[in-house]
Amino acid sequence: MIRGLWISAAALSPTTRAQEILANNLANAGTGGFRQNRVAFERVVQAAGAASGTTGTAAPVGTSGATDGSGLEEGLGAAPRLVTRIDPGPGPLEATDSPFHLAVAGSGYFAVQGADGELYTRDGTLQLAPDGTLLHRSGYPLLTEGGALTVPPGGTFTVASDGTVSVNGESRGKLRVVALPDPASLSHAGTGLLRSAIPGEADATSRVIQGSLEGANVDPVLAMVDMVTLLRGFEANQRAIIAQDGTLGRLVQWANG
Average pLDDT over residues 38-60: 53
| pLDDT at site 1 | 55
| pLDDT at site 72 | 42
Average pLDDT over residues 126-153: 94
pLDDT bucket at 43, cuts 50 / 70 / 90? low
Q: Do 208 and 24 meet the contact criterion of CB atoms below 8 Å apart?
A: no
Mean pLDDT is highest, among 7-11, 45-49, 187-191, for: 187-191
Phi, psi of 212 (to 5 degrees): -140, 155
pLDDT exceeds cutoff 50 at 77: no
pLDDT exceeds cutoff 90 at 175: yes
Cβ burial, residue 132 (10 Å; 0-12/13-18/19+): middle
pLDDT exceeds cutoff 90 at 186: yes
Angle (CA) 9-13-18 rounded to 5° is 135
pLDDT bucket at 83, cuts 50 / 70 / 90? confident
Average pLDDT over residues 28-36: 93
CB neighbourhood size of 238 (10 A):
14
Residues of the chain with pLDDT > 90, as a percent, come to: 59
| pLDDT at site 252 | 77
pLDDT exceeds cutoff 60 at 60: no
Residues of the chain with pLDDT > 70, as a percent, come to: 84
Average pLDDT over residues 95-123: 96
| pLDDT at site 55 | 45
Q: Which residue has the higher pLDDT, 161 or 257?
A: 161
Average pLDDT over residues 111-136: 95
Q: Which residue has the higher pLDDT, 218 or 247?
A: 218
pLDDT bucket at 154, cuts 50 / 70 / 90? confident
- Please compute Rg for the chain using Cα positions: 24
Q: Which residues pair with 143 in a beta bridge?
A: 148
Q: Among 112, 13, 19, which residue's Cα sits nearest to residue 72?
A: 13
Q: How far is 232 from 41, CA to CA, in rounded Å?
A: 15
pLDDT exceeds cutoff 60 at 53: no
Q: How far is 90 from 165, CA to CA, in rounded Å?
A: 24
| pLDDT at site 80 | 67
| pLDDT at site 48 | 37
